[in-house]
Amino acid sequence: MTRAQPLIWLGLSALALALFLSAGPLAKFPDSWVLSPTDSMNDAMNGFVAVVGPLFKALGWLLEWPVAAAQMLLQALPWAVTASILILLGYIASGWKLAVFTALSLFYMAVIGYWSESMNTLAIVLISVPMAVGTGFGFGVLGFYSDRARKIIMPMLDLLQTIPAFAYLLPILILFGFGTTVGLVASVMYAFPPMVRNTILGLRAVPEEIIEAGMMSGTTPRQLFWKVRLPAAQRQMLLGVNQTTMAALSMVIIASIIGGTNDIGWEVLQTMRKAQFGESLLAGFVIALIAMALDRISHGFATKTREIEPTGPNIWKVSALIVAAVAILSLVVPGLRVWPETWIWNPAPAMNDALEYVVINYREWIEAIKNSAFFFVMLPIKIGLSNAVSPFTWGFALTPILKAVYAVIIAVPALWALRKGHVTAASLIVLWGVVSYIGLTNMPWLPLYLILVFSAYVTSGRGLAIGAALGLGFLLIAGVWPESVLSLYLCGVAVMVAFTLGTLLGIWASENQTVSYIIRPIMDTLQTMPLFVILIPFVMVFKIGEFTALLAIIAYSIVPAIRYTEHGLRNLPDAVLEAAQTVGCSRWQLLTKVKLPLALPAIMLGLNQTIIYGIGMLVIAALVGTNGLGQQIYIGLGDGDFGVGMTAGIGMAVLAMIADRMTQAVSRRRQEQLGLRFDGV
């Protein structure tokens, strides 16, 4: 197989070029082959809704009660009481620093005037987290005890986590109808998988001796579970609660896109659509603060180490007393009940003015950055050098002579690689040259399809190749191939940039402590930030468009690339490094000859996560005007068109899964070669 590989790559390149140049009917997937399943999907869904609709409507009605109750409660409670509860939770979870952070965050929400919206968001999270944790725990325990159940549960989780969050909303919207229930159900669906994984992981990681000690103590099977396994796995499960909370929050925010919730996510979207950037940034910052506070509080409880039992008064009792005191005080002081209007300060207009000033005065710079990136990087990959190079964009036309020059530019490194004996590399350079010449969106469907399937085969074998063939086949038959290629292009460019920059930054951070200290909190912030919010600053400066989307995707997906690289480089076996230093490696040699090769599996996992993050952000980025599957999902959601949205959602999941499996396989193979194990950051 390895012998034939270069020939196959060359053959595919030739096929692509031939089909492209002939511009014949074979370049485009025949319309008559497209089955367009959207109508039949809609029919099926309508039929389904007609039968079970009332049931779901009733369920939705039931689910609205707890949310309504929680919202009423949080709205009715004096702000001072809610705030003191949250601040004290922060204190108990991890100490006074977190208490101060929580206090400042809450203060910000109140001052900016988003208290009531924030409480509405919090109310849904408050209801959805226990539901998601309960569901996740149940499935986790089932999966732990039954191998058969686990074999069913795990792929379901994969699917739930790779289907873009937007795509969930659609069936839920159709089943339950408009209302807060959609956000609740969607966030439960989206947030329970991490709980399942952590439950199984935690229960499995309990040392055998602890189980045996429990058995020897004479536990009944029930006691063994509740008194031994569960408490011993507690920490991992609390980490699951932390992840579940974050996922629930981000989905609640995303779900606000369907409206009717009057929560903070809705506020961001509203203002963003009205181009009120000051307001949307302020509101976005509220979301980020809620996310960070919730993350740190739940993470604090998860990692809290038990100390010797304090002899002093119980901290929970003291806290309860403080809250009671604040409650009584707020009965007397009206300012503690409802945040007074006069205390609200709105800097948004000033911010809008400042932004306008910047955008107007630095317009040339901004345009220059945007255009050069667009004309010289994005367009060539999208429509190929053959189309992108024109007097209007590059300042000259692609004459036959220049085409010949291009062929030489590609041929030289290919021949050099061939001379060195890297036959496969040479063939891949040729393939790259051909694809760049044609452009992704102009690639005839057949060679592109075959290239993708064959890549799957090369990286992880026949199983994935068959899966990829079927999945990509679905995209063709469903008629979303062009949109898929657009997604592939945008995500591909973003991932390439993010991965390159991220790896370099990761290497730098692993070698330089200061850099590591500086970028770590930035990465934490980017990761806890709900996806919407990341869009805001880019939209403010670069307006709506593909370039803005690209920047947002890069900003979000660069984080894992940095993290995994740094982590991989920092956690190598000491013995190997010492051995390398002893034989006299310079720092550069140590990095390039020892550390990087050993850290490759970790870096590959970083690439994997970069791709997954990129695809996740792609859907959100559709909000600022991209074409592709993300936009289709958005359209489906907007029109309530189940078929369109679902097809695009499945399409996205197909792309995500293929990319995921391919990169995982490479990383795993490398790990096995090195005899190292690497599980994640």
Partner 1 sequence: MSCRNVWKVYGQKPEQFFDDNNGEVSDATTHADKIRNADHIVASADVSFDVHVGEIFVIMGLSGSGKSTMVRCLSRIVEPTAGEILLDGQDLLSVSQKDLIEYRRHKMGMVFQNFGLMPHLNVLDNVAFPLEVQGIPREERRARAQAMISLVGLEGREASFPRQLSGGQQQRVGIARSLAVEPEMWFLDEPFSALDPLIRRQMQDEFLRLQRELKKSIVFITHDFLEALRIADRMAIMRDGAVVQIGRPVDLILNPVDSYVKEFTNDVPSELVLTARDVADPTRTFATGMGEATAETSLADLLPQLASNEAGVIIRDTFGVELGGVTARDVVRALAGKGQEATS
> Which residue ranges make up the site for partner 1 (CB under 8 A)?
207, 209-210, 212-220, 223, 227-228, 231-232, 234, 305-309
Longest dimension (CA), the chain: 87
Nearer to partner 1, 223 or 387 (CB): 223
- Name the minimum Å distance from CB 218 to partner 1: 3
Residue 159 tokens, joined = 């699917």
Nearer to partner 1, 207 or 313 (CB): 207
- Name the minimum Å distance from CB 215 to partner 1: 5
- Name the minimum Å distance from CB 308 to partner 1: 5
Rg (CA), the chain: 27
Nearer to partner 1, 306 or 462 (CB): 306
Residue 153 tokens, joined = 């549960």
Nearer to partner 1, 309 or 679 (CB): 309
- Name the minimum Å distance from CB 237 to partner 1: 12
Nearer to partner 1, 228 or 600 (CB): 228
- Name the minimum Å distance from CB 219 to partner 1: 5
Nearest CA to 564 out of 528, 601, 513 is that of 601
* Cα 393 to Cα 316: distance, rounded to the nearest angstrom: 66
- Name the minimum Å distance from CB 310 to partner 1: 9
- Name the minimum Å distance from CB 148 to partner 1: 18
- Contact between 383 and 499 (Cβ < 8 Å): no
Nearer to partner 1, 97 or 204 (CB): 204
* Cα 227 to Cα 214: distance, rounded to the nearest angstrom: 8
Nearer to partner 1, 205 or 415 (CB): 205
Instruction: Please report, in angstroms and rounded to a whole number, the separation of the first and last CA atoms in the chain.
Output: 35
* Cα 495 to Cα 641: distance, rounded to the nearest angstrom: 30
DSSP state of 305: P
- Name the minimum Å distance from CB 234 to partner 1: 6
- Name the minimum Å distance from CB 263 to partner 1: 37
Q: What does 362-397 look like in DSSP terms, one character per residue?
A: THHHHHHHHHHHIIIIIHHHHH-HHHH--TTTTSS-
Any alpha helices (H) in 445-512, and if so which ranges?
A: 445-460, 462-477, 481-511
Nearer to partner 1, 26 or 215 (CB): 215
Q: What does 319-339 look like in DSSP terms, one character per residue?
A: HHHHHHHHHHHHHH-GGGTS-
Nearer to partner 1, 220 or 399 (CB): 220
The dihedral sign for the CA sequence 424, 426, 429, 434: negative
- Name the minimum Å distance from CB 135 to partner 1: 24
Nearer to partner 1, 225 or 508 (CB): 225
Q: What does 49-79 look like in DSSP terms, one character per residue?
A: HHHHHHHHHHHHHHHHHHHHHHHHHHHHS-H
The dihedral sign for the CA sequence 504, 506, 507, 508: positive
Contacts of 240 (CB under 8 A, 6+ apart): 133, 136, 140, 194, 195, 197, 198, 199, 202
